[in-house]
């Protein structure tokens, strides 16, 4: 049996190139070696309040982006988290395995909670639901961006604790982050990560941005003092972020890229980064638009995906309940 990978993205806004290079594109490549299970985590998305109509649209769009980027529904399972009830059930059970203190240490929770007046309880227990997602499928590999490292480590801790406390039910998953693109930074501030939720549209490149928008946003990206084009996150965070985007879009090695830009100015760098992004995204955008015209096909694939996921998840959940003594 092929080893399994599991990953997911929240339908909580328009996707950007951080989501693409950090997550979706590595999934596509890893499909060669792993059986992929890719979730649209709408239960995670409601840990902050979402307008219902947006949530519905983003959910469909996310399914279309998975497919447009090259997730093959013949080989991999694509499904919506709320369609498979074992996620919520195991999520609860893992809240009764996790410690309050370890959830309180999650840096994503701390930074998201800091920005808001009302913090929903679900935002705090979010990592237990993510652990449930992963553990239901006896996942071996979790390909995600760097910001999810702590959540995957917690998932391993919870699985290990459960296995010792009750019975050895869960496989311990490994984290996978891509060599390039695991942490794309905001264009207007290379000290912050590019994110769906930043109020500034200029901070990120959306997957649907037009060539003109891409050229414009890259042209306005913050660079650094000096003129040298060199990869060094400490002293040249802006230029390094552009070089990393270029590396992710072209698949070239950093040494080769630095040699290519030696003696050139920031203007040339920005033009070439924009061109590389446009070339990478254009075919994905075409397929996305095509898929969004085929609503029935998307719904059919998601229903089929949910059925396959449910069969695997229900079996794990049965073993969990049995181990705990839930009659
Ligand atoms: P989210 O937007 O939080 O649902 O993230 C979905 C996936 O994209 C996760 O695997 C994240 O780690 C990844 N991701 C989000 N932002 C970035 C970024 N700026 N750079 C690289 N990966 C990212
Ligand atoms: N927490 C992840 C994020 O915000 C999304 C996610 C939910 C996830 N469940 C998952 C990622 C399971 C990998 C595996 O990016």
Q: Give per-residue pLDDT as tens, 191-220.
A: 999 999 899 999 999 999 999 999 999 999
- pLDDT > 90? residue 2: no
For residue 103, the model assigns a pLDDT of 98
- Cα separation, 62 vs 93, in Å, equals 28
Express each pLDDT in 73-115 by its tens digit.
999 999 999 999 999 999 999 999 999 999 999 999 999 999 8
Mean pLDDT across the stretch 147-156? Answer: 98
Exposure string (b/e) for 13-44, b if CB count within 10 Å is 16 or more? bbbbbbbbbbbbbbbbebbeebbbbbbbbbbb
For residue 87, the model assigns a pLDDT of 98
Which one of the listed residues 3, 110, 192, 193 is annotated catalytic? 193
Whose CA is closest to atom 7 on ligand 1?
19
Mean pLDDT across the stretch 12-26? Answer: 96
Identify which of 139, 129, 35, 36 has the alpha carbon closest to the alpha carbon of residue 84. Answer: 129
Mean pLDDT across the stretch 226-235? Answer: 94
For residue 115, the model assigns a pLDDT of 83
To the nearest whole number, what is the mean pLDDT of the chain?
A: 97
Measure the CA angle with vertex 120, ends 19 and 145; round to 5°: 20
**CB-based contact 17:277 (threshold 8 Å):** yes
**CB-based contact 322:169 (threshold 8 Å):** no
SS3 sequence, 275-319?
HHHHHHHHHHHHHHHHHHCCHHHHHHHHHHHHHHHHHHHHHHHHH
In ligand 1, the atom with minimum distance to the C-alpha of 19 is: 8
Phi-psi region of 212 (alpha: psi -120 to 50; beta: other; left: phi over 0): alpha
DSSP letter at 81? G
Identify which of 39, 153, 148, 166 has the alpha carbon closest to the alpha carbon of residue 96. Answer: 166
Domains in the chain (CATH in brackets) are 3-181+294-324 (3.40.50.620), 201-289 (1.10.240.10)
Which one of the listed residues 196, 252, 308, 321 is annotated catalytic? 196
- pLDDT > 80? residue 1: no
Strand partners, 4: 35
Output the CA 52–ligand 1 centroid distance in Å. Answer: 22
- Cα separation, 322 vs 256, in Å, equals 56
Q: Which one of 5, 7, 19, 41 would you pick to mutate in the ligand 2 pocket, going by the greatest count of ligand atoms within 8 A of its CB?
A: 41
Active site residue 252: no
């Amino acid at each position: 049996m092929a080893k399994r990978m599991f990953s997911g993205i929240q339908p909580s806004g328009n996707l950007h190139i951080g989501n693409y290079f950090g997550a979706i594109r590595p999934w596509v490549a890893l499909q060669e070696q792993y059986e992929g299970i890719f979730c649209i985590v709408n239960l995670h998305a409601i840990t902050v309040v979402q307008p219902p109509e947006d949530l519905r649209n983003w959910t469909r769009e996310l399914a279309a982006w998975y497919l447009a980027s090259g997730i093959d529904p013949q080989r991999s399972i694509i499904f919506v988290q709320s369609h498979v009830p074992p996620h919520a059930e195991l999520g609860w059970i893992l809240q009764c395995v996790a410690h309050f203190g370890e959830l309180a240490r999650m840096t994503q929770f701390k930074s998201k909670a800091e920005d808001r007046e009302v913090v929903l309880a679900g935002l705090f227990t979010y990592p237990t639901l993510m652990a449930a997602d992963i553990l239901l499928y006896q996942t071996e590999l979790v390909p995600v961006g760097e910001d999810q490292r702590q959540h995957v480590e917690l998932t391993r801790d919870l699985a290990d604790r459960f296995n010792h406390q009750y019975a050895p039910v869960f496989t311990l998953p490994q984290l996978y982050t891509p060599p390039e693109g695991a942490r794309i930074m905001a264009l207007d501030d290379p000290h912050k990560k590019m994110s769906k939720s930043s109020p500034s549209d200029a901070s990120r490149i959306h997957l649907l941005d037009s060539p003109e928008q891409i050229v414009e946003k890259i042209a306005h990206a913050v660079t650094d003092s000096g003129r040298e084009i060199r990869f060094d996150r400490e002293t040249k965070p802006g230029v390094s972020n552009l070089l990393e985007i270029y590396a992710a879009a072209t698949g070239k090695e950093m040494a080769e890229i630095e040699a290519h830009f030696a003696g050139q100015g920031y203007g040339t760098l920005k033009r070439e980064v924009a061109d590389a992004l446009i070339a990478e995204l254009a075919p994905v955008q075409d397929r996305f638009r095509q898929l969004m015209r085929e609503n029935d096909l998307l719904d059919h694939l998601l229903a089929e995906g949910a059925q396959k996921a449910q069969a695997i998840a229900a079996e794990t959940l049965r073993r969990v309940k049995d181990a705990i003594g839930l009659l």
